[in-house]
Amino acid sequence: MDTNQLKKNAAIEAVKYIESGMVLGLGTGSTANFAIREISRLINDGSLKNIAGIPSSKQTAELAKELNIKLLTFSEINEIDLNIDGADEADSQLNLIKGGGGALLREKIVAQASKRNVIVVDEGKMSESLGSKWAVPLEIIEFAYEPVKSYAESLGAVVALRKNQNGDYFRSEEGNLIIDCNFGQIKNIYQLNENLNNKAGIVEHGLFIDIADEIIVSKPAGTIKLKKQ
């Protein structure tokens, strides 16, 4: 079974939690896109009614509009019933690294505004220790690049400034830079989370700690569900 099919299976399982009348957080990335397409299908066949979503990126907003999913903003509501999103890496304690697509700031805003966060991944995204498979993205203001880079290096990271395929600096939707910080296996994610939260110039980082309520992991034999204890 290929990876796309695994992603789709996890997404479809998560969509089963949706009930008519819900406001949804619409995640960003290939796995979240499968969920958005399934939501649209259920709206169109009448299985779901009165559904609206808050997108975590312009890319997601464009897909949702294309699929005729009603979109809201935080000026219209202040709480999301259910957020479905993917992750770049996840551990068995439901902690995540996100931001491979560059939408980490809006993704975390949506997640923190949600009553329930369900994360959908294929089995290749799971690891025993965060940082084993993925660097931690930091969204930073350009003025702070040098001091934040030095700070991340002092914490043990190998730092790479993210660039587009054409060689230009990658810019988030807020116009910020992203640096990818490879810490290797992170021994104390809570300490690192605190260190990154306290550094001026870091707008947001890709550690999503104690945010997920459930992770749906798709394997060739089926899906398993990891839930917050």
Active-site amino acid positions:
107
Distance from C-alpha of 160 to C-alpha of 45, rounded to nearest angstrom: 46
Distance from C-alpha of 97 to C-alpha of 130, rounded to nearest angstrom: 7
| β-sheet bridge partners, residue 218 | 122, 223
Q: What is the DSSP letter of 200?
A: T
Q: Are 131 and 97 within 8 A, CB to CB? A: yes
What DSSP assignment string belongs to 85-126?
Answer: E--SEE-TTS-EE--TTS-HHHHHHHHHTBS-EEEEEEGGGB
Q: Would you put residue 71 in left (φ > 0), alpha (ψ -120 to 50) or beta?
A: beta
Q: Dihedral of CA 118/122/128/132: which sign?
A: negative
Distance from C-alpha of 87 to C-alpha of 206, rounded to nearest angstrom: 10
